[in-house]
């Protein structure tokens, strides 16, 4: 007589018991990341609203990046105020609308192509349709492209405003969203060729090289460019702005976003999870990430309701990137 044993069922049960701790750990990590994101969202919304109330000039740190971060959070199912994104898009459009006659002449953008590109990228994230203002910004970019295909930074305020790679990638994004397909093809191709040939030096360079190639539909080149960026990850699992600096949330957040979007780094990979863990462990109790500024102030200091005093602008930028990295 042969006795049949339910070995398959037994082994499945063992496998389930073994996997339960891992499932619980994953759920705990997701819960922690979710809380981190929601804390950051509340702080970003508050500071962005204060900026609009106190300032008249467009900024990349309080308009473009907040539109990008808040829109992504809303798409991921997080609670974002109805007016939080539209307020920033209206502010951006109104600022450049007052300069609409000057833009095609290469005037009216204090930060040059970099600011024009970030404005268009933020408006694209907010879902803003094309209009006369975006048309004027596009014409500004087309008229300011260099012969080698790049766009250049005009003022240097590291790390946010210090990279020709950033200016070039953002121009590609703006043209890709708001320019006619036939008219944008050639300038975007020239910009992609420049990104492929140019040598990145900083983490910002590497990050926006990946973004620019991705946005320019050079997917294989974007994946190739992501490899050197991944190699910049430190032993502590974070990224630093420069080789001689320590890991911070600005560099770590944007590196993780770029690597995830390139497809080179899967969210479940050890490197990605290590970077996320670094961000969670370095978040302040108020929901921010503190990064020390490296830029000389060019405006009179004012309080934007974001913590960290004179470090508030780079810190809100870092918080936006960190929030985007933590999104599922």
Q: Residues 6 or more apart from 28 whose CB is under 8 A from it?
A: none
Residue 284 has pLDDT above 60, yes or no: yes
What pLDDT is attached to residue 29?
58
Nearest CA to 78 out of 50, 32, 39 is that of 39
Q: Which residue matches tokens 């619980």? A: 24
pLDDT, one tens digit per residue, over 129-147 is 999 999 999 999 999 999 9
Whether 205 contacts 245, CB under 8 Å: no
What pLDDT is attached to residue 298?
80
Range of the domain at 87: 42-51+59-246
What pLDDT is attached to residue 212?
98
Average pLDDT (7-34) is 48
122 in any annotated domain = yes
Residue 3 has pLDDT above 70, yes or no: no
319 in any annotated domain = no
Q: Residues 6 or more apart from 230 whose CB is under 8 A from it?
A: 259, 264, 265, 271
Residue 208 has pLDDT above 80, yes or no: yes
What pLDDT is attached to residue 192?
98
Whether 274 contacts 265, CB under 8 Å: no
Structure confidence at residue 297 as a pLDDT band (50, 70, 90): confident
97: which 2 tokens?
């609308």
pLDDT, one tens digit per residue, over 61-118 is 999 999 999 999 999 999 999 899 999 999 999 999 999 999 999 999 999 999 999 9
DSSP state of 157: B
What pLDDT is attached to residue 17?
37
What pLDDT is attached to residue 299?
79
Partnered with residue 247 across adjacent β-strands are 240
Structure confidence at residue 33 as a pLDDT band (50, 70, 90): confident
Residue 23 has pLDDT above 50, yes or no: no
What is the pTM for the complete model shown? Answer: 0.91
DSSP state of 58: -
Whether 64 contacts 121, CB under 8 Å: yes
171 in any annotated domain = yes
Distance (Å, whole) CA 13 – CA 33:
30
Residue 219: CATH number of its domain: 1.50.10.20
Output 24 or 281, whichever has higher pLDDT: 281
Q: What is the average pLDDT score of the chain?
A: 91
Nearest CA to 108 out of 58, 171, 178 is that of 58
Q: How far is CA 126 from the centre of its chain?
A: 14
114 in any annotated domain = yes
Partnered with residue 240 across adjacent β-strands are 247
What pLDDT is attached to residue 153?
96
216 in any annotated domain = yes
Whether 36 contacts 280, CB under 8 Å: yes
What pLDDT is attached to residue 122?
98
pLDDT, one tens digit per residue, over 152-188 is 999 899 999 999 999 999 999 999 999 999 999 999 9
Residue 232 has pLDDT above 50, yes or no: yes
9: which 2 tokens?
């069922």
Residue 292 has pLDDT above 70, yes or no: yes
165: which 2 tokens?
């790679």
Residue 16 has pLDDT above 50, yes or no: no
268: which 2 tokens?
């479940």
100 in any annotated domain = yes
If one counts the domains in the chain, the total is 1
Partnered with residue 164 across adjacent β-strands are none
Distance (Å, whole) CA 29 – CA 50:
32
Tell me how many helices (H) and strands (E) the chain has: 12, 0
Whether 173 contacts 124, CB under 8 Å: yes
174 in any annotated domain = yes
Average pLDDT (219-224) is 95
What pLDDT is attached to residue 275?
98
Distance (Å, whole) CA 8 – CA 251:
48
87 in any annotated domain = yes
């Amino acid at each position: 007589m042969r006795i049949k044993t339910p070995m398959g069922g037994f082994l499945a049960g063992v496998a389930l018991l073994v996997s339960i701790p891992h499932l619980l750990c994953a759920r705990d990590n997701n819960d922690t990341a979710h809380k981190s994101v929601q804390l950051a969202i509340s702080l970003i919304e508050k500071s962005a609203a204060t900026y609009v109330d106190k300032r008249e000039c467009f900024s990349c740190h309080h308009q473009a990046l907040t539109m990008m971060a808040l829109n992504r959070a809303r798409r991921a199912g997080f609670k974002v105020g109805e007016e939080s994104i539209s307020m920033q898009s209206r502010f951006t459009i109104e600022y450049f609308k007052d300069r609409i006659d000057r833009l095609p002449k290469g005037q009216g953008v204090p930060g040059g192509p970099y600011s024009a590109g970030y404005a268009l990228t933020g408006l694209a994230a907010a879902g803003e349709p094309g209009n006369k203002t975006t048309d004027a910004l596009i014409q500004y970019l087309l008229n300011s492209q260099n012969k080698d295909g790049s766009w250049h930074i005009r003022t240097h305020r590291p790390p946010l405003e210090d990279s020709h790679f950033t200016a070039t990638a953002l121009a590609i994004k703006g043209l890709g969203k708001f320019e006619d397909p036939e008219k944008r093809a050639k300038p975007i191709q020239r910009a992609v060729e420049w990104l492929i040939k140019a040598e990145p030096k900083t983490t910002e360079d590497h990050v926006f090289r990946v973004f620019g190639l991705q946005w320019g539909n050079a997917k294989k080149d974007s994946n190739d460019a992501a490899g050197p960026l991944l190699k910049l990850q430190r032993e502590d699992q974070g990224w630093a702005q420069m080789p001689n600096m320590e890991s911070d949330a600005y560099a770590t957040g944007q590196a993780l976003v770029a690597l995830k979007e390139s497809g080179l780094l899967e969210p479940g990979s050890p490197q990605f999870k290590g970077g996320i863990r670094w961000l969670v462990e370095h978040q302040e109790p108020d929901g921010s990430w503190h990064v020390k500024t490296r830029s000389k102030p060019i405006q009179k200091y004012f309080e934007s309701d974001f913590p960290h005093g004179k470090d508030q602008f780079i810190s809100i930028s870092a918080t936006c990137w960190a929030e985007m990295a933590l999104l599922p």
